[in-house]
């Protein structure tokens, strides 16, 4: 099954609302009309409202970086799925390793968010990946297996087209170290096998699996040419329209 690549920019805790406007205008002017590769930007919550107006007329989609599993109520500081939908957000990054590391998120708490997202017509970008210590002790596939099985527990096969996975080796995030093309392909293929076990071969073959971790214009083409790499989740390089759009162009040509 052919899968349309997705290049998503994870802006993390960067850009004020007015800085976001400049960045989005630049991205829109370079790749806003092409439809070969799906492009998504995930600015901070405080920029979503402005962003949603700016991407309305372009092919760029909007994503959030996190959300609550709760629908509403006394959860000070949290943002719900329906609040995101109200701003025309389509995607939400869930289970990013920074959320796991600094905010205590676990496969179980992330699972609740993944289910809440899909119940509200948001497409989860579910992040998985091993630490350096786990890789060096030969545990990469075990860690990924638990993250996939526990994080996707009870995920309905009817919503499979909305699911996006992101393999992000923790040791490659923001470090300048990238997984080799072969390392990425190995874990991506393994992830697809796990998805086949959960959902069946045909549904699993429709899921996009993004690579994240120091993806840049220089290494994007090699990674994106791998059979099971269906796009990228870009951190640092997404804060410059020029480098982000070069990755989009690499995806179009891969
Ligand atoms: P990076 O971040 O591209 O800066 O390594 C990727 C991510 O954390 O999603």
Which residues, in sequence order, are CB contacts of 59 under 8 Å at separation 6+? 31, 32, 33, 34, 35, 38, 39
Q: Could you confirm whether 159 is annotated as catalytic? A: no
Q: Could you confirm whether 36 is annotated as catalytic? A: no
The tens-digit pLDDT sequence of the chain (254 residues) is: 589 999 999 999 999 999 999 999 999 999 999 999 999 999 999 999 999 999 999 999 999 999 999 999 999 999 999 999 999 999 999 999 999 999 999 999 999 999 999 999 999 999 999 999 999 999 999 999 999 999 999 999 999 999 999 999 999 998 888 899 999 999 999 999 999 999 999 999 999 999 999 999 999 999 999 999 999 999 999 999 999 999 999 999 98
Pocket of ligand 1 (CB under 6 A): 10, 168, 173-174, 212-215, 233-237
Ligand 1 atom with the shortest distance to the CA of 10:
9
237 burial (CB, 10 Å; 0-12 / 13-18 / 19+) is buried
The tokens for 73 are 């109520």
Ligand 1 atom with the shortest distance to the CA of 166:
9
CB 59 within 8 A of CB 29: no
List of domains in the chain: 6-252 (3.20.20.70)
The whole-model pTM stands at: 0.97
Selected catalytic residue, list 105, 168, 188, 249: 168
Listed residue (14, 87, 1, 4) closest to 238, CA to CA? 14
Ligand 1 atom with the shortest distance to the CA of 236:
4
């Amino acid at each position: 099954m052919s899968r349309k690549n997705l290049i998503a920019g994870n802006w993390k805790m960067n850009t004020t609302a007015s800085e976001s406007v400049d960045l989005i205008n630049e991205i829109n002017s370079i790749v806003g009309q092409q439809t070969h590769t799906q492009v998504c930007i995930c600015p901070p919550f405080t920029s979503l409202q402005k962003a949603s107006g700016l991407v309305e007329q372009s092919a760029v989609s909007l994503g959030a970086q996190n959300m609550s599993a709760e629908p509403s109520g006394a959860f000070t500081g949290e943002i719900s799925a329906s609040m995101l939908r109200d701003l025309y957000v389509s995607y939400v990054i869930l289970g990013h390793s920074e959320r796991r590391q600094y905010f205590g998120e676990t496969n179980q708490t992330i699972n609740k968010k993944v289910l809440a997202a899909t119940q509200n017509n948001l497409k989860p970008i579910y992040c998985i990946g091993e630490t350096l210590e786990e890789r060096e002790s030969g545990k990469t596939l075990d860690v990924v297996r638990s993250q996939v099985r526990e994080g996707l527990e009870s995920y309905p096969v009817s919503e499979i087209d909305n699911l996006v996975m992101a393999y992000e080796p923790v040791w490659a995030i923001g470090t300048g170290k990238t997984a080799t093309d072969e390392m990425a392909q190995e874990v991506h293929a393994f992830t697809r096998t796990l998805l086949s076990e959960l959902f069946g071969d045909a549904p699993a073959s429709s899921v996009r699996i993004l690579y994240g971790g120091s993806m840049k214009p220089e290494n994007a083409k090699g990674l994106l040419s791998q059979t099971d790499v269906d796009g990228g989740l870009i951190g640092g390089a997404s804060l410059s329209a020029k480098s982000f759009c070069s990755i989009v162009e690499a995806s179009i040509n891969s």
